[in-house]
Amino acid sequence: MFDKDLPESIKESRESRKPNEENPPPADLVSDQKSGAEIGKEMYLMISVNCKYKSKIQSLLRDISLLSRKRTNLQEMYITLK
């Protein structure tokens, strides 16, 4: 679509990055497929962390929003000093 607008150097670098059958990507760059059990364990861990720290996270969010409002108010009050 925008192929005409691209510089030649970009096109060449893209061609060099394209995988081909002769030079497969290194094994450490290939993403591993996770099994259902691993995904389930990760999800359980995320849910347990969420439940354990939910109140602390919510209080931090409240504090951050309060500080943000105070900062905005102070900026509006002292904008004339700039």
| Single pTM value for the model | 0.43
- Residues 6 or more apart from 25 whose CB is under 8 A from it? 19
Domain extents in the chain:
47-82
- pLDDT greater than 70 at residue 32: no
Q: Tell me the pLDDT tens digit for each residue of 59-80.
A: 999 999 999 999 999 999 998 8
The arithmetic mean of pLDDT across residues 45-71, rounded, is 92
Q: How would residue 37 be classed by pLDDT, with cut points 50, 70 and 90?
A: confident
Dist. CA 70–CA 66, nearest whole Å: 6
